[in-house]
Amino acid sequence: MNVNRNNLSQESIRQSYMFSKRSLEIDPFIVMQLAQRANEFEAAGKTVVHFEVGEPDFETAEPVIMAAKSAIDLGRTKYTVALGVPELRNRISQYYLDQGVIVDSNRIVITSGASGGLTLLAALLLNPEDELLITDPGYPCNDVFARLVGARPRPINVDAENRFQPTFSDFVDAWGVNTRAALLASPGNPTGTMLDQKDLAAMAGFARESGGAVILDEIYQGLHHRPVAYSTGLAVSDNLFILNSFSKYFGMTGWRLGWVVVPEEAIEPITKLAQNLFISPNAPAQYGALAAFDDQALATYEARREIFAQRAALMADGLKRLGFQIPVMPDGAFYHYVDASHTGMTSRDFCWRLMDEFQVAVTPGSDFGVHNADRYARFAYTRASDTIEEGLARIAKALAAWGINT
């Protein structure tokens, strides 16, 4: 029988395909929905203040751009080896050595962004029905990487009392008979806080003794605003799988390039996964990233880090004046996790009203989990100071219009 597909509803078309259960169960990425809404306002000629997306407003450092252009001009656009070009792996090894940590370059795998790294690590460490410990709140997509390989995310609720990070006791209590790995972050998203050094060492040791692993997300490494106890988890324990990226500190979000550090025994299986899943990372991006470690580029990043610290203080002062509470100041990254309960709304309602009525984009806590999510919102200080001040002024107008005392 011939079927006229023009007469089929979208729902019937969707049902006519055997979409995977996991694809249908994935929750929307709220921050990207907000960004899409912002784009609609901007297309209509309105100015939106962006406090939602974790993307710095700085351009990629000039040495990186020039190195990538040179690579393209020289024809370095073919597949590279699956683990990444040796020059870049060696340079990252030197980057760790500069921090006082010895990491053999053979343990470093260049990936297609941190997301590519998490895909590899999930495939490497998790079997169907295994459990992956994640924090709530935490990065919105963490559970998706577990589900992608048939594993199950198991959240650890974290609160301001412990700086929104799990303690060793929390970790042990959450670790079950089916747990095979834990995904932690330091500094974390959405809170910007770092794991306690002793807790991290104890967690890594416990996981190893239990036949499991700890993945430590360090994509905000280097973006600290105050003295920190350790520069990388590898200075605390060698029993860690490290996830990092060129997106945040290095300001290369759209280049989609990152890396993981794995124990020596993981090199062979992760190589096979990288070969089959990705073939190779982006070639020009890799050659561009080599220049990210030049003195000129590093000086640029350090100057920007100081600017982020200034922006953090500016935004915190302004939010507190408007009645918001910041229960824990961040150690790094570029976020404030803010208690917005004085608005009398759920954070989701508050954020969408703020967007629709005053064109200020802020991410609700519900994007990062369910634990106390209705009271918190994440404000990203990734925009210039005058933009932050404009956003704070709009929020003040919103609160006044809604009859909320500050």
Residue 228 has a pLDDT of 87
Single pTM value for the model: 0.93
pLDDT of residue 71: 97
Residue 12 is which amino acid?
Answer: S
pLDDT reading at 321 higher than 90: yes
Average pLDDT estimate for 297-301: 96
Q: Are strands 241-245 and 258-261 parallel, antiparallel or unpaired?
A: antiparallel
Q: Buried (b) or exposed (e) across 293-325, using 16+ Cβ within 10 A?
A: beeebbebbeebbeebbebbeebbebbeebbbe
Tell me the pLDDT tens digit for each residue of 363-375: 999 999 999 999 9
Mean pLDDT for the chain?
Answer: 94
Q: 25 exposed, middle or buried (CB, 10 Å; 0-12, 13-18, 19+)?
A: exposed
Position 8 scores a pLDDT of 46
- H helices of 183-245, in order, are 197-209
What pLDDT score does 3 carry? 41
Residue 116 or 27, more confident: 116
Q: What is the pLDDT of residues 159-188, one digit of tens each?
A: 999 999 999 999 999 999 999 999 999 999
Per-residue pLDDT, averaged over 215-232, amounts to 92
Residue 391 reports pLDDT greater than 90: yes
- The residue among 185 and 229 whose pLDDT is bigger is 185
- pLDDT at residue 4 greater than cutoff 80: no
d(C-alpha 347, C-alpha 363), whole Å? 8
Place 11 in a pLDDT band, splitting at 50, 70 and 90. low
Q: Answer yes or no: are the C-beta atoms of 361 and 382 closer than 8 Å.
A: no
Model pLDDT, residue 10:
54
Helix, strand or coil for residue 302?
A: helix
Lowest mean pLDDT across 17-21, 238-242, 302-306 = 17-21
Phi–psi pair at 9, nearest 5 degrees: -70, 160
Instruction: Of 6-15, 107-116, 226-235, give the range with the top mean pLDDT.
Output: 107-116
What Å distances lie between residue 18 and 21, 104, 162, 402, CA to CA?
9, 45, 44, 46
- Residues 218/232, Cβ–Cβ less than 8 Å: yes
Residues near 300 by Cβ (< 8 Å), separated by ≥ 6? 61, 62
pLDDT tens for each residue of 73-127: 999 999 999 999 999 999 999 999 999 999 999 999 999 999 999 999 999 999 9
Q: Is 349 helix (H, G, I), strand (E, B) or coil?
A: helix
Classify domain 20-59+297-401 at the CATH class level: alpha beta
Q: How many helices (H) and strands (E) does the chain have?
A: 14, 12
Read off the pLDDT band of 5 (50, 70, 90): very low
How far is Cα 32 from Cα 49, in angstroms, rounded to an integer? 15
Averaged pLDDT, 54-81: 96
Q: How far apart are CA 136 and CA 174, in angstroms?
A: 12
Polymer length of the chain:
406
Reported confidence tier of residue 1, pLDDT bands at 50, 70, 90: very low
Give the phi and the psi of residue 338 in degrees, each rounded to 5. Answer: -115, 135
pLDDT exceeding 90 applies to what percent of the chain? 88
Task: Render pLDDT for 341-365 as a digit per residue (tens, 0 to 9).
Answer: 999 999 999 999 999 999 999 999 9
CATH class of domain segment(s) 62-293: alpha beta
Instruction: Compute the distance between CA of residue 359 and CA of residue 137 in angstroms, rounded to an integer.
Output: 25
Q: What residue type is 313 in one-letter code?
A: A
The two tokens of residue 355 are 């967007």
Among the listed residues 50, 27, 54, the one whose alpha carbon sits nearest the alpha carbon of residue 39: 50
| Confidence band for 15, pLDDT divided at 50, 70 and 90 | low
Q: How far, in Å, CA of 301 to CA of 46, rounded?
A: 31
Higher-confidence residue: 283 or 3? 283
Q: Which of 144, 138, 146 is nearest to 187 (CA)?
A: 138
Decide if pLDDT at 2 tops 90.
no
What are the sequence ranges of the domains in the chain?
20-59+297-401, 62-293
Closest CA to 31 of 385, 395, 355: 355
Q: How far apart are CA 294 and CA 290, in angstroms?
A: 8
What pLDDT score does 9 carry? 53
